[in-house]
Amino acid sequence: MRAKSETRRQAILQAAAEVFQETGFERTTMSTICERLGYSKATLYNYFSSKEELFSAVVFEATEAEFQATLEALDSTVEDITLALELFGRRFLTLIYSPQVQAMRRLIVAEAGRSDLGKKSYELGPVRSEADIAQFLQQAMNAGKLRQADARVAAFHLRGLMEAEWFDRFLFQVLKEVTTEEINATVKRAVAAFMAAYGVVVR
């Protein structure tokens, strides 16, 4: 029974991904997705309670592997902490400012007040990345690569610095495509500021 459910869930996600891609989020209806699958509406709603929830699941599915890989790029074997943070930062910004993830974040903001989509997404996304970044920074502090500080606050500050230049443009949808050059330059500036604040003072 469970296996069948998971197969169906995957079939729905696959069909939904196709329909969203073909017709865009706005013009996609749950009915269109049902038709594509030959499922009844009742069946579809049994798996996903709204178009928004379905869309969010589609994008999570599509980005989960990349998200995991990004967090794994917090590589404590890289000796130079500045390089390690830059490496991570480039992957992180590339991921969250991809058109796909931008669209998902916007949708979540718009829908978060109406359902528990916000809370669920918050736990799946930011909570995990905050914890992983804090843990990485704590290890770097313990290894003497960063000064001792509250690793959780340091993790927030690192992310805040990295997102600072684009945050409002993203929110207000005036952010166009972000180039690799822009990402590299932004990350370099953010990590430089972070290292000035959290690096070990050389005497």
Contact call for residues 86 and 107 (beta carbons, < 8 A): no
**Residue 158 beta carbon to its own copies: minimum distance, rounded to whole angstroms:** 8
Q: Pick between residue 41 and residue 169 the one whose CB is nearest to its own copies.
A: 169
Q: Pick between residue 77 and residue 173 the one whose CB is nearest to its own copies.
A: 173
Q: Pick between residue 2 and residue 203 the one whose CB is nearest to its own copies.
A: 203
Binding positions for its own copies, rule: CB under 8 A: 105-106, 108-110, 112-113, 118-119, 121-122, 125-126, 130, 153, 156-157, 159-165, 167-169, 171-174, 189-190, 192-194, 196-198
DSSP state, residue 115? S
Q: Pick between residue 92 and residue 194 the one whose CB is nearest to its own copies.
A: 194
**Residue 10 beta carbon to its own copies: minimum distance, rounded to whole angstroms:** 26
Helix ranges (H only) for 28-150 are: 30-37, 41-47, 51-72, 81-96, 99-111, 117-124, 126-142
Ramachandran region of residue 76, left (φ > 0), alpha (ψ -120 to 50) or beta? alpha
d(CA 68, CA 151): 21
d(CA 9, CA 167): 34
Q: Pick between residue 90 and residue 157 the one whose CB is nearest to its own copies.
A: 157
**Residue 43 beta carbon to its own copies: minimum distance, rounded to whole angstroms:** 29
Please enumerate in sequence order all residues whose Cβ is within 8 A of that of 10, keeping only pairs 6 or more positions apart, or say none. none
**Residue 113 beta carbon to its own copies: minimum distance, rounded to whole angstroms:** 6
